Structure 1
């Protein structure tokens, strides 16, 4: 009996080793790399055969292999050799939607070029590329699809979708010119993305990398140039959090936001660390942390970030839009929370031509009754254009409680040039510095409806004619100490709608007329 068991074990091990070493070439299944033959059936047969045999590698050799939707299966690695290109068909009818859902704009989406659903141990790797031909596909589509563009775009395929998969690796490949989102990972566990190059622009909604309700994620050394958000964390379902994620070493260029969290935000975002990233030429926010659909956003740390030519470096938002994205599968959530976030070691050069004119550096806002809590901003320097006048310093910013969370939602400008914060508790501002290209008489820092505010060791540049350097409106408790303030202003700190009993101002170096001015009205 013991001998028989050993023999069976040996046979099983042999089959396992064979499966690990199995490699099939898509050409052996009839695929042709001439750029015109539709290869969907041939590539799928290669994948299915490999998976049925226990798994292995499906090799895409040099050539341009035109295809519609292909679905990866468990234990299969799609290996793209050098000069190999999987090319997306320009006919939307060549694509399938294996996991439909609704995006944050209310559009039905989910079609994809390369897709995996409920699979384990899958990978896409190599030196080749996947090209979605997004611009060409759109041109063909609009010839027959007469719906408005806001509805029509959802029918276009994502380049890569990985849905409810476990142990996923994407390494070395180029992902190019998607017709919609470039890569979307939904509710995956143990996801590893490394050395991936994304170049995707030319049509709207070209998100680079969307991490949607995934856990145990590692992303490193990637280069993303996207027409829409570059690195975006979402939770389009309330059932699985974005959790236990480490990101490092990314270069990000974006037509919208570079590092973004929460335009779809039903389940939590927690235990996320992002570091050592360079953001450049980005049109709609460098770091944007948002929760507006009920998510708890907490225990997030972002550090060692550089930004060049970025419109509005930082936006933090807790709102109450409360959308539902998976029809019939989810229910509306109550307003979420935003707490325990640290952003440190950031050096940013803000674009002069921004969504807010004159531009501002950092926007932080909850909604009435729901506070952003325990946020620390430490060692942050921002270069700004300046140009704000006295009227700008009294701009009333809309609450926009249930609106889509964007910088422009709070426009056309905000009344502080450096940091404007509203509905906040436990906000710590330490070692913040600004430089201005021109005079700005708006306060450097404004806090409205706050408690336990700390402003320490900040370096405020010289301006002339300002009413105050720091304005506190309806702030219960604050500590302002160790700050260096150049130039002149009527007051270092102006306190409005508060008795000021718990506001402590000490050991600051300044040349303002008055250290604190209390306005009781």
Structure 2
């Protein structure tokens, strides 16, 4: 009897132990799919629009002329400085076309374009002074951005007007030196470009070998295009309602900035590297109610390139994207490829994406020279019409500048997609390739419906990918063994 009871106790013990382990395993897996969206609301509640004095400085009172040819550069500068020196307010640009060089914002200034106002920026590089700026994840001394704020507080660009960079195939764009993208952007073989060894390659070498920024002097003769709007090292930044067209390079580039709101902005620019919005080394950034129709990524979250990114070490984090529309672009919401300092807490919701020229919905890209960690990309309530290549693409072997291999294996984990509907999914539902030594971890698709896609997924070195109530081409997808 004793022996019988002993064996019963042993059996009960092992049964309970198996059940406990099983439940714990299930809990561990499900924890990834239980996203705490309260973090997003916390970010939103903590980021407030800057407030400006209700005092208006009309640029026409300072001598501005709206004939499309008079150079208003000094007029705008005088109005902005007068506004800031008197405690701030609104520098207002009335109806009409205003030609200008770069616009430099000062503390507590809202540069406001009234309905029907259009600012036409010079395409003459000589009109742009050399300032501390950034190019593709590397700091340098280069042409001023078209609109620039350096270490300022409470700055804004608002209104229903148009900011026109006037870039095209005859200026700025040919500097890319495009020879293999299908569009040459006006470049012809033999012309100088950023690819020449004393230009972008030289900057890459300087960044990799820690040459001080003040000695990285480029500008004339080096063909590195300026960003359009760059708040550099700023706090409390707002860009609202304006339309931006024909940019030389990246369009909106919050750099080392905190508390940034991009609201109701339309970006329509199909030049090379015409990313719509690129927060870099930036924290607490809200991008909402915007339309992106671009020649590159619609939104691309950055965090520095290679050695320099690791040295700066400022993550881009707490990025919220809401109620935006993505049309043409290499990706709807993208992280990388310059992401060496890391990206954390990206929230995307209630967006619409649709175009035969939209390549991916969500994209993460890096390589073993770049490295970096991406932790936490949370996406929900997305309507996709047509996308060309993939709904989700995670590429840890991205390279466009020759050999991009090194000893810095990128880390990507915790990607969550929920309530996504895709009418035409292109080639892949999910395309994800990681490293055997450090696989991509925790990809969850929950309540996702993808139609008209060629392949459910292509996976290499992915640990814990789950398809929860997810249908591809009308069939419920089982989670692969991983």
Q: TM-score range by the shorter chain?
A: 0.7 to 0.9
**What is the match of residue 427 of structure 1?**
465
Q: 1:336 aligns with which of 406, 410, 414?
A: 410
Q: Which residue of 2 aligns with 1:498?
A: none
2:102 aligned to which of 53, 66, 69: 69
Q: Which residue of 2 aligns with 1:290?
A: 365
Number of aligned positions between the proteins = 381
Among candidates 227, 231, 235, match of residue 303 of structure 2: 235
Q: C-alpha separation between the residues in 1 aligned to 2:326 and 2:377?
A: 19
- Secondary structure (helix, strand or coil) at the match of 2:371 reads coil
Residue aligning to 1:398: none
**Native 8 Å contact 1:59 1:80 kept in 2:** yes
Q: Where do residues 403-442 of structure 1 align in structure 2 (5 Å cutoff)? A: 417-435=455-473
* Greater helix share, structure number: 2
**Cα contact 1:128–1:173 (8 A) shared by 2:** yes
Match of 1:318 in 2: 396
Q: Take 2:302 and 2:371, find their aligned partners in 1: how far apart are those partners?
A: 12
2 CA distance for matches of 1:106 and 1:124? 24
CA distance in 1, matches of 2:123, 2:187: 12
CA-to-aligned-CA distance 1:80-126 (integer Å, 9 cap, x gap): 11111111112122123422334169999764111111100111111
Task: Find the counterpart in structure 2 of residue 309 from structure 1.
Answer: 386
Are 2:264 and 1:195 equivalent residues in the alignment?
yes
Q: Which of 285, 288, 296 is equivalent to 1:220?
A: 288
Q: 1:252 aligns with which of 326, 329, 342?
A: 326
Question: Between Structure 1 and Structure 2, whose CA radius of gyration is higher?
Answer: 1
Alignment deviations for residues 373-406 of structure 1 (CA, whole Å, 9 cap, x no partner): 12212122222354xxxxxxxxxxxxxxxxxxxx
Partner of 2:422: 348
**Structure 1 residues 83 and 215: CA distance shift in structure 2, 3 A:** same
SS of match in other structure, 1:28: helix
Partners of 1:235 and 1:266 within 8 A in 2? yes
Asked whether the 8 Å contact 1:108–1:155 carries over to 2, the reply is no
Displacement of 1:336 in angstroms is 3.2
Change (3 A) 1:218 1:139: closer
Q: Per-residue deviation at 1:48?
A: 1.4
Matched, 1:36 2:69: yes
In structure 1, stretches of 5+ residues that fail to align are 1-18, 324-331, 353-358, 387-416, 437-457, 461-468, 479-521
Write out aligned runs for 1:502-517 (5 A). none
In structure 1, how many angstroms separate the alpha carbons of the residues matched to 2:174 and 2:464?
53
Q: Could you tell me how far 1:233 is from its partner in structure 2?
A: 0.6
SS class of match (2:327): strand
The answer as to whether partners of 1:212 and 1:233 remain within 8 angstroms in 2 is yes
User: 2:157·2:240 contact (CA, 8 Å) conserved in 1?
Assistant: yes
Of stretches 104-113 and 64-73 in structure 1, the one that deviates more from structure 2 is 104-113
Secondary structure at the residue paired with 2:254? Answer: strand
Q: 1:508 is matched with which residue?
A: none
Deviation at 1:28, TM superposition (A): 2.1
> Is 1:86 paired with 2:86?
no
**1:459 correspondence with 2:459:** no
Change (3 A) 1:381 1:178: same
Are 2:337 and 2:398, in contact at CA under 8 Å, matched by a contact in 1?
Answer: no
Q: Is the 8 A contact 2:133 2:141 kept in 1?
A: yes
How far 1:351 moved relative to its partner? 5.9
SS at match of 2:228: strand
Residues 118-133 of structure 1 mapped to structure 2, 5 A cutoff: 118-133=151-166
TM-score scaled to structure 1, two decimals?
0.67
**Residue of structure 1 equivalent to 2:191:** 146
Tell me the CA shift for residue 296 of structure 1: 1.4
Q: CA deviation at 1:435?
A: 1.6
Shift of 1:45: 1.4
Greater strand share, 1 or 2? 1
Distance 1:162 1:371, change over 3 A: same
Distance 1:70 1:337 in 2: 39
Q: CA deviation at 1:71?
A: 0.6
Return closer, same or farther for 1:302/1:30 CA change in 2, 3 Å cut-off.
same
| Secondary structure in structure 2 of the residue aligned to 1:48 | helix
CA distance in 1, matches of 2:249, 2:317: 25
- 5 Å-filtered alignment, 1:12-27, equals 20-27=53-60
Q: What's the counterpart of residue 376 of structure 1?
A: 444
For structure 2, the residue ranges without an aligned partner over 5 or more in a row are 1-51, 176-185, 200-221
Separation in 1 of the partners of 2:187 and 2:300?
A: 31
Whole-Å Cα distance in 1 between the matches of residues 467 and 141 of structure 2?
A: 41
Q: Any conservation in 2 of the 1:252–1:280 contact (CA below 8 Å)?
A: yes
Take 1:80 and 1:204, find their aligned partners in 2: how far apart are those partners? 27
Shift in alpha-carbon separation, 1:193–1:101, aligned structure 2, 3 A: closer
Verify the 8 A CA contact 1:98 1:117 in the aligned structure 2.
no
1:83–1:127 CA contact under 8 A, matched in 2: yes
